[in-house]
Amino acid sequence: MRRREFLQLAGGASFAWPSLARAQRRATPPLVAFITPFTEEIVIERTLDLRAGLKQVGLVEDVDYTLALRFANGNLSRIPKLTRELLELKPRVFVVAASLSALNTIRKEAPDIPLVVTGLAADPIAMGFAESYARPGGMITGNTMNAVGGEEALTTKRIGFFKELVPNVARLGMIHFADSLTPVTAGNLALSERKALRKVSDHFGFEFLNYEIQTLDDFDDAVSAGLRDDVSAFYISGDPRMDFDIPRVVTSLTKSEKPTCGVYPFWAQRGLLMSYSNDLHDMLRRAGFQVAKIIQGAKPGELPFEQAVKYTLVINMKTARRLGITPPPTLLAATDELIE
């Protein structure tokens, strides 16, 4: 059948108008905004996972959506300004990665924008922005880092692995930013970590000490204080400000000649002895699924707020050999990534 005959049968006007509408949508795809406190290097890597999640459900970048990125390079004070920059672009969906500050800014200044939160180290129900995990309500959904049991359960698992790796830990020194430097809207991960470590210290048989820093310029002094206190190992807070200059952090810890435990996989990849956290790649991919559903018409408040189900244990074997540590076979079997 000729095209003209088909249009006459189908109704030329009714057929052509949707085609024009689709062409307009392709010309101006919806904008997905993305903000995180981490560095540009990590943002670029993480957004590959977000893009993969969108692609997996059939959405193609620059055709079905565009992506605008902002990253704070560990400077939490920049988060509100960067968030407002993205809000001015009128995004269709806003993805917030590991930042309560950005989340609160959006909810206050643009409450009607759909939000997908990922890598959140807090309970969304306890924080008051989700009614339940199954049905968050409002304009928000996403995923959270903490498994059932919160930071204590995650820390217990992390320290359990660390004690298998370094069984003779008698004093564990945590290095973290001072509480007074943490904006109220940013939450306080270090405080949650300290509470969890104090709770598990008796169970694992070590004394817990903590060392505050004001800036990363104080990191060497914190390490020196720990060495004076004869700590057996260092635990590094998951605060994203540590990431601002993680090579410097790792260099300082390497000089201490002490075993080190941290949260994020890329810290162990850079030189810490061990890290354990939820699989950040999986969380970003799953956030991509949720973004796609919202672009396709789903209401964010009706999409379940997911809890992490995949976790990643990383051991840096180069660091282990330097410290004279031999991981037991049972721990090696549980390890997801060995850095040689």
Amino acid 80: pLDDT? 96
Exposed e or buried b per residue across 203-223, where buried means at least 16 C-beta atoms within 10 angstroms of its C-beta: ebebebbbbbbeebebbbebb
Q: Is 64 helix (H, G, I), strand (E, B) or coil?
A: coil
CB 313 within 8 A of CB 276: yes
Reading the block at residue 238, the tokens are 């998951």
Amino acid 146: pLDDT? 67
Tell me the CA distances in angstroms from 217 to 188, 223, 236, 266, 340, one per residue in order: 21, 11, 15, 21, 30
Amino acid 32: pLDDT? 99
Q: Is 108 exposed, middle or buried (0-12, 13-18, 19+ CB in 10 A)?
A: exposed
Domains and CATH numbers, the chain: 3-148+279-311 (3.40.50.2300), 150-277+312-339 (3.40.50.2300)
How large is the C-alpha radius of gyration of the chain? 23
Reading the block at residue 241, the tokens are 């400000």
Question: Which segments in the chain show pLDDT lower than 50?
Answer: 1-21, 24-25, 183-187
Reading the block at residue 130, the tokens are 């989700």
Rounded to the nearest 10 degrees, how much is the dihedral formed by the CA atoms of 87, 56, 303, 118?
A: -50
Which of 17, 60, 108, 100 has its CA nearest to residue 295?
60
Amino acid 1: pLDDT? 43
CB 177 within 8 A of CB 239: yes
Q: What is the pLDDT of residues 71-109, one digit of tens each?
A: 988 788 899 999 999 999 999 999 999 888 899 999 999
In 88-170, where does DSSP find H-type helix? 100-109, 150-165
263/61 Cα distance (integer angstroms): 31
Rounded to the nearest 10 degrees, how much is the dihedral formed by the CA atoms of 247, 76, 32, 300?
A: 120
Q: What is the pLDDT of residues 159-174, one digit of tens each?
A: 999 999 999 999 999 9
Tell me the backbone φ, ψ of residue 71, rounded to 5 degrees: -140, 140
